[in-house]
Structure 1
Amino acid sequence: MARDSTAVSRRRPGRTRLGVARLGRTMASIELRKFLVGTVVWGIGNQMVTVTQTYVIFDITQSALQLAILGAAVVVASVSMSLASGILADRFSRKTLLMCGSVMTATSMLMIGLLLLTGRVEPWHIQVAGAIHGAALALDWTARFSLLPIMVPRNILARSVFFDNSFFNLGRVLAPLLWGAIVHWWGYDWSYVVIAGMMALNFVIVATYRPLSSSIPTTHQAIWHDVVEIATVVRTNSILTGNLTFTFVNALLMGGFIYLLTPIAREVYNVGPGGYSQLFAAVGLGAFVGGLLLGFTGGFKRTGYALLVTNIFTAASAVVFALVASLYFGYAFALLFGLINAIHIGLGTISLQMAITDNVRGRLAGVYELAWAGFPAGGFVFGAMADSLGSSASLIIGCGFVILVTISIGIFNPNLRRLRMRV
């Protein structure tokens, strides 16, 4: 027994040193560091859009149905752009596509800010701006997903993806806090102007990116051939199919949770803009910590089981959040929701990245973003249910659906369940 204990104690420092060395090698990449700075700025801007849009339209209409219409506008635009963005990302500069997305968001949000400042805003203005942002977000996500693998060497890709997710979630922490401060001092009109400024700054940062390769072929197949090729890749790979199903269901839950955070903050926790922004920040803080944990540890060897368990626990934490009335417990379970969900998303993202080659990466990113259309769809579905059943009840029903789907994937997709990843 003593000999075994000594052997274990000797192995642990070796693993620790190896982990530190891999972490140092990852963060030594200047292109990764620039990418992470851009991720934080882009994340703050986009999270402020979500916080501001949902709060403002509910504030001026007092209607969960108007929240649902906003969600529908975003999802229609997001789905429409997702279908095209993957093909664009395999044919044109992914860096340029990212810059275009920033311009679209900055312009639409600046227009809403000006309408609010002049007292001329109507609910449909916000919903149209939401649709433009939904299209821009689909373009952005597709470009970012397919750009990072050509920004860094493959041997640091896994940790790069985990840290990228974590830095995006840092934006989720900072955005609601910044939004709360802006609303407190100047009112939510000016938050739209700040969003436009953040997206303009992101445009400048992206312009400095220097990918290791262009990944753009000199000749192109017919578009229909591109579509058939990616459909075949996804259909014949059960890990991709299961993971994309996971993504849609998880996005549906996240969208419902985030869109219903405004009415739940008021109806369950009895808080105004300050408490709402703090609950939103708690979700982001948990997600930031979850991403950091993956970045430092390198993930889980039994990735398939980790994907299943984290999705179930994400839904369970949302159920508790909808039931408790104590604000302090609300903070705790909002943080737990963000942490577990970030681990789930990080593992799903890297398993997708590792399963494909770069010639179809843009199109898979488009399919992946199409699955993420579940986020605004969750806002529509959960918002519509909340209009008749109440916010807490609709969130609990949605979580039950997510748990059932997750269990079904675990039973009927053994390849995904047995998925392993080198840590």
Structure 2
Amino acid sequence: VQHRKFAALNNRQFLHFWIAITLALAGLWIRITVQGFLVYDMTSDKFLLGLVGFLSAMPVLLLSPIVGVVVDRFERRKVLFATQAFMATNLLVLATLDAFGALRVSHILIIATLTGAASAFDWPARLSLVPNLVKPHELQSAVALNSAAFNGARIVGPVVGGMLIAVIGTAACFYLSAFAFLPSMLVLLTLTVDRALPAQKRDSAIRTLVDGYQYIWKFPTLRSLLSVDLVPVIFGMSFFTLLPALTRDVYDRGAEGLGFLYAADGAGAFIGVMIIAAMTSLRRRGFWVIVFVFLFAVIQILFSFAPTLYIGMVFIFGLGLVSAIYGTLADTLIQTIVHDEFRGRVMAVYSTFWGLTPIGYLQIGIIAQHWGTQRAILVNACVVLLYVLALIKWNPEVRRLN
């Protein structure tokens, strides 16, 4: 049974890809942790924390139509390699500026924007590449393990980043983050991908883009799956950008405490995706997606009242757990029903929702500046709760997904 549950790990090519991507994602989370700490340490400005998140995510929204066309028209392995190399280069620049004492907040904002642009290509290319590396019976475990790589990195990266800030300094942390991309770049050069590029007549990029949106619109089930993450992503995930302020101003902790919060969320998320990877026979998945989005909103309301770091870690662990479960269920359903020729465009639309997070980042930053960090988190949690209740009442289609 265990052999079937994690079948993708028996695929040597996917195994190498998975390990390397996990290291790269850990490096990414080291950068996110150190970057947030550094900005707040330099400025004590909650709005600037929101602005960094805004600039990191806005390119995902702006570039997603182009990304979908690129991922479907070109070799996904090469697209992913280019994005990994570009992100590593940006991190090396950030580290060097910091090492020589020349780093300013403006530099962090610029590099956050550039890495955000690379991330716009990274996620759709990675998600679209996974089904090309595995056999059909390995797909569900591959999708779940891909999510586990992201969430496992959320455990390791913040802990390493938070603890190493005091030991080796922020510049060395940025260098470590950059070098973490090297294994994935090497693995990508060696992959053999089972996917033929479109050999038929080559439509224009605009026609290719329009075809992708028409494909999504024709399938109500796919539309419902893509829509269910919209509000939870914009408003529910925005609390991440305030964690440095929450750690210092509410919990009276430093970089180590911030790392613990990130790690608690990542630990919950890792356990969540492992649960879903093992539950291959789960039915009524659409129903369970709704249930866990509802739980996400309720736990976040409780998290907004947490008075200490350790209580906050308990609630943020729960947030990671339930968000990973509903997110992985939705990811698996989408990857299972979509046709491969449209996969890149569908994944780009999916990642567009994450590109909308700048709205939540700026909004929660403004609220926190005027009303306080915890109240800002509470407001956005209530928005997600109202959304779920509306979804249950007016979109029963989602509940019937299997």
Q: Say whether residues 1:194 and 2:176 are aligned partners.
A: yes
Q: Say whether residues 1:105 and 2:119 are aligned partners.
A: no
CA positional deviation for 1:339: 0.8
1:121 is paired with a residue whose SS is coil
Q: Say whether residues 1:33 and 2:11 are aligned partners.
A: no
1:212 is paired with a residue whose SS is coil
CA positional deviation for 1:237: 2.2
Residues 191 and 21 of structure 1, relative CA distance in 2, 3 Å threshold: closer
Letter matched to residue 371 of structure 1: F
Spell out the pairing of 1:202-351 with structure 2 (5 A cutoff): 202-217=184-199, 219-298=201-280, 300-351=282-333
1:312 is paired with a residue whose SS is helix
Is the CA contact (8 Å cut-off) linking 2:225 and 2:330 kept in structure 1? yes
Aligned to 2:386: 404
Say which is worse superposed, 48-57 or 189-198, in terms of deviation: 48-57
Distance 1:25 1:51 in 2: 33
Aligned to 1:385: 367
Residues 291 and 24 of structure 1, relative CA distance in 2, 3 Å threshold: closer
Deviations 1:348-391 (A, max 9, x none): 11111122101110111111111111334432221122111211
Aligned to 2:144: 162
Spell out the pairing of 1:58-77 with structure 2 (5 A cutoff): 58-77=40-59
Say which is worse superposed, 194-203 or 390-399, in terms of deviation: 194-203
Distance 1:206 1:289 in 2: 27
Is the CA contact (8 Å cut-off) linking 2:250 and 2:307 kept in structure 1? yes
1:90 is paired with a residue whose SS is helix
Aligned to 1:56: 38
Residues 84 and 24 of structure 1, relative CA distance in 2, 3 Å threshold: closer
CA positional deviation for 1:24: 5.5
Is the CA contact (8 Å cut-off) linking 1:78 and 1:131 kept in structure 2? no
Say which is worse superposed, 31-40 or 132-141, in terms of deviation: 31-40
Distance 1:256 1:102 in 2: 25
Q: Which of 323, 340, 346 lines up with 1:358 in the alignment?
A: 340
Q: Which of 155, 171, 175 lines up with 1:173 in the alignment?
A: 155
Distance 1:239 1:42 in 2: 33
Letter matched to residue 383 of structure 2: F
Distance 1:409 1:113 in 2: 45
Letter matched to residue 304 of structure 2: A
Unaligned runs of 5+ in 1: 1-18
Distance 1:346 1:281 in 2: 19
Say which is worse superposed, 322-331 or 243-252, in terms of deviation: 243-252
CA positional deviation for 1:33: 0.8
Is the CA contact (8 Å cut-off) linking 2:6 and 2:141 kept in structure 1? no
2:304 is paired with a residue whose SS is helix
CA RMSD for the aligned pairs? 1.6
CA positional deviation for 1:53: 1.9
CA positional deviation for 1:393: 0.7
2:228 is paired with a residue whose SS is helix
Q: Say whether residues 1:372 and 2:354 are aligned partners.
A: yes
Distance 1:179 1:416 in 2: 39
Aligned to 2:128: 146
CA positional deviation for 1:181: 2.9
Aligned residues: 402
Is the CA contact (8 Å cut-off) linking 1:34 and 1:209 kept in structure 2? no
Say which is worse superposed, 102-111 or 376-385, in terms of deviation: 376-385
CA positional deviation for 1:278: 0.8
Unaligned runs of 5+ in 2: none
Is the CA contact (8 Å cut-off) linking 1:103 and 1:203 kept in structure 2? yes
Distance 1:123 1:219 in 2: 48
Distance 1:26 1:177 in 2: 28
Is the CA contact (8 Å cut-off) linking 1:54 and 1:262 kept in structure 2? yes
CA positional deviation for 1:216: 4.1
Letter matched to residue 167 of structure 2: W
Q: Which of 354, 372, 376 lines up with 1:394 in the alignment?
A: 376
Letter matched to residue 244 of structure 1: L
2:180 is paired with a residue whose SS is helix
Aligned to 1:6: none
Q: Say whether residues 1:92 and 2:52 are aligned partners.
A: no
Q: Which of 381, 394, 399 lines up with 1:417 in the alignment?
A: 399
Distance 1:299 1:249 in 2: 28
Residues 299 and 187 of structure 1, relative CA distance in 2, 3 Å threshold: farther
1:323 is paired with a residue whose SS is coil
Letter matched to residue 222 of structure 2: L
Is the CA contact (8 Å cut-off) linking 2:297 and 2:382 kept in structure 1? yes
Residues 52 and 254 of structure 1, relative CA distance in 2, 3 Å threshold: farther
Distance 1:418 1:75 in 2: 32
Higher Cα Rg: structure 1 or 2? 1
Letter matched to residue 157 of structure 2: A
CA positional deviation for 1:31: 2.0
Distance 2:11 2:61 in 1: 34
Distance 2:77 2:297 in 1: 35
Distance 1:47 1:217 in 2: 38
CA positional deviation for 1:152: 0.5
Is the CA contact (8 Å cut-off) linking 1:240 and 1:352 kept in structure 2? yes
Distance 2:32 2:2 in 1: 36
**Alignment TM-score, normalising by the size of structure 1:** 0.91
Letter matched to residue 292 of structure 1: M
Residues 388 and 24 of structure 1, relative CA distance in 2, 3 Å threshold: closer
Letter matched to residue 343 of structure 1: I
Identical residues among aligned pairs (%): 24
